[in-house]
Structure 1
């Protein structure tokens, strides 16, 4: 194999994120990786470079090492909405911009994109649907739970599924709040503001 491989730490340094974030992205399939006979993870340099290029194209940021969002993140409430219904996504964003005029509102249309943004931006609150194409909310939440990231953000599920449907899909991780559609925006506002106040 001629693919150039790098260590998890090297990938984290290139991407400007924590080691655990790189591990999360590998598990989500966002980065190509292999394990050595000794059990160490090696990541394809090409997949890291591709992610850097996509991020630069999407945000206009310079490529490696120049992302300095952490200090800004510390002072700026950040909320991620993961929802495939574009109308509802826009409605969530409108409410959140009203509740948090100084906040950063991020959006994703499936669990895969959600994991990428969670790893990069470390939101205070995550509002997610469960039924989505590709990686759904259940898989995203299990990945977060496996990596110990559920407790880091206030995770709020907003779904049209019944409790029975949720249980049939394995339930939700401990600490995840659940609201049912139509979205109870008053109750959601209280949870989001509480999460953003720390």
Structure 2
């Protein structure tokens, strides 16, 4: 045998028996490792395996092996469910301004009997409500305007100025009996201030709050 043949014979085994990495090999964790990864107790992890929410099995020695893919899928599902739960648990905040004492009493009484998941704050003065906006900003503002037209125009202008200060615009609904009271931003641009015909009533408010909840769930 020549020197070249001898060298080939020595090198061939290392080439033939060189391990080849298998792609996409599934990874598995022990119960304790899965528990640490999920932040759960080992007992709860075992229950999740028994219920089929995690994929796993027992070795001959009685030890569980849990699929890493199923653990990651469970984490993704849990985050999504938690996000939806948090979103649904946060009540939208609506500030309602009513200058009529009689209507205010009717609305507050009706709201106390409703089970609509909305946090409603009542004010009997537009000025007080505007001051409150600086410290506790609601998601929406509803103003029943029964004051003289000149004062209604000033209220509308004050709200437009508030929305133009650089922050995200506040959604506002103004209820008035004035037919031609319009937001100056309504022409040529999308205005967050909506002017609608009155009068305001508990029936209207119930429908409005129901719509608020529906829009928050989309």
Q: TM-score, normalised by structure 2?
A: 0.43
Pick the structure with greater CA Rg.
Answer: 2
